[in-house]
Amino acid sequence: MSKNTPKAIRGTQDIFGADAEAFAFVVETFERVRKLYRFRRVEMPVFEKTEVFSRAIGETTDVVSKEMYSFEDRGGDSLTLRPEFTAGISRAFLTNGWQQHAPLKVATHGPLFRYERPQKGRYRQFHQIDAEIIGAAEPQADVELLAMADQLLKELGIEGVALHLNTLGDAESRDAWRAGLIEYFGAVKGELSEDSQERLEKNPLRILDSKDPRDRAFVADAPKIDAFLSDDALAFFDAVTSGLDAAGVKWTRATSLVRGLDYYRHTAFEFIPDEGSAAATALGAQSTVLGGGRYDGLMESLGGPATPAVGWAAGIERLAMLVGEKAEEPADVIMVVEDERWNEISDGILAELRRNDLFSEIVSTGSLKKRFDKARKMEPRTILVLGSRGEQLEATLKYFDQTTRSSEIYDAVKSRVLPKFVKQELREG
């Protein structure tokens, strides 16, 4: 690398090796679970018109006011790299007439972009898995999504992370709560952080979410949503919690949990590591792995008909940090050609190994000793050596363990792969 080699953009990551395996494990497990729950796959554009996000997420949110990557393209349109999935999926629901599929259960994953201060677990390009149910007003949809999230974390082997659940009420309850919060925090305005003083009139719920110690001192005694809930909102929340109990999903009530975006109604939730758990240590200061809620007001902000919906998203990097490093799978067969005469036939054997579902590779550079050293270092299940006896090709399979997989490999190499190339028996070495 010379001095003028361009560096990676701040806040981006090049993921490789065991970390990349952990990342892939998260995505593969998510794919399996979303099929289990019968969510349909969608692929979304990485950029949208800026107004998709500013209207859906809300101008006063951190995401829209500080974190978006927006630019004018050559045609003069203001575009934004997606900072989240929900707004784009909602736009697609309206522009493609997906109403006909409602209630529509969709899932996706991919990169997102936010201009944030990079640190452990917080990047400018990060990745999420995302699941949404659009066009479902019933609390069963909330329960299904939460059960799915819970099962996903279990299948990833993640422990010490708990579901924190709250309700933000319906529009009526939320407005009353909002007024109560403005009154309460207004009385101590001078003692709040500068950010929260600014939030007070525009977005007082966000003060509850503040990490600033000056704000935290007042959050514990702030008015709770429960005092403002309408009968309908209360009944909805009761149905969600009893559904979770019936589904065997553990949850705890978090009365000051709010989400950073304007569009949430009723259910709001986050999966957060328990204090002092290994998960909390692994994540450091970034606490939330998975978050979401109900966003019944969002479609209208995009000019669509009122459409109830609920969804969640989780950071793949943060989940991967909790999964820990995943070793790359060992190869079934590493092939080493001992005698150059068999170079050509080795291509055929390698292709045949792979056609027989054996995870295989050839080591073909360096001296013979180097090749064997390299092959052993890869810690494969077996090494297949192509050597000679007289004029004949002699194949030897060296074992490194006594697993059923090794005997499957032996059987496949002996009875399906080699007979296509050699008359002789397979030697064991």
Residues interacting with ligand ATP, by CB under 6 A?
84, 114, 116, 121-123, 126, 128, 260, 286, 288-291, 313-315, 317-318
Q: What's the min distance (Å) between Cβ of 419 and ligand ATP? A: 52
Based on CB atoms, which residue is closest to ligand ATP, 315 or 380? 315
Q: What's the min distance (Å) between Cβ of 386 and ligand ATP? A: 47
Q: What's the min distance (Å) between Cβ of 190 and ligand ATP? A: 26
Q: What's the min distance (Å) between Cβ of 69 and ligand ATP? A: 12
Alpha-carbon gap, residue 337 to 396, rounded angstroms: 11
Name residue, tokens 């479609």.
299
Buried/exposed 41-54: b ≥16 CB within 10 Å, e otherwise = ebebeebbebebbb
Based on CB atoms, which residue is closest to ligand ATP, 296 or 317? 317
End-to-end CA distance of the chain: 44
Are the C-beta atoms of residues 216 and 224 closer than 8 Å to each other? no
Based on CB atoms, which residue is closest to ligand ATP, 167 or 360? 167
The two structure tokens encoding residue 120: 């452990």
Q: What's the min distance (Å) between Cβ of 84 and ligand ATP? A: 6
Based on CB atoms, which residue is closest to ligand ATP, 164 or 381? 164
Based on CB atoms, which residue is closest to ligand ATP, 99 or 210? 210
Based on CB atoms, which residue is closest to ligand ATP, 64 or 409? 64
Q: How far is CA 345 from CA 342, 380, 384, 387, 421, in A?
A: 5, 22, 13, 12, 8
Q: What's the min distance (Å) between Cβ of 183 and ligand ATP? A: 26
Q: What's the min distance (Å) between Cβ of 285 and ligand ATP? A: 9
Q: What's the min distance (Å) between Cβ of 335 and ligand ATP? A: 41
Alpha-carbon gap, residue 239 to 254, rounded angstroms: 17
Based on CB atoms, which residue is closest to ligand ATP, 135 or 273? 273
82: which DSSP letter?
A: -
Based on CB atoms, which residue is closest to ligand ATP, 86 or 346? 86
Are the C-beta atoms of residues 281 and 161 closer than 8 Å to each other? no
The residue sitting closest to ligand ATP, measured at its beta carbon, is: 315
- Environment class of 403 (CB within 10 Å of its CB; exposed 0-12, middle 13-18, buried 19+): exposed
Alpha-carbon gap, residue 324 to 371, rounded angstroms: 31
Q: Which residues are registered as beta bridge partners of 394?
A: 387
Strands (E), 118-256: 125-134, 161-167, 252-253
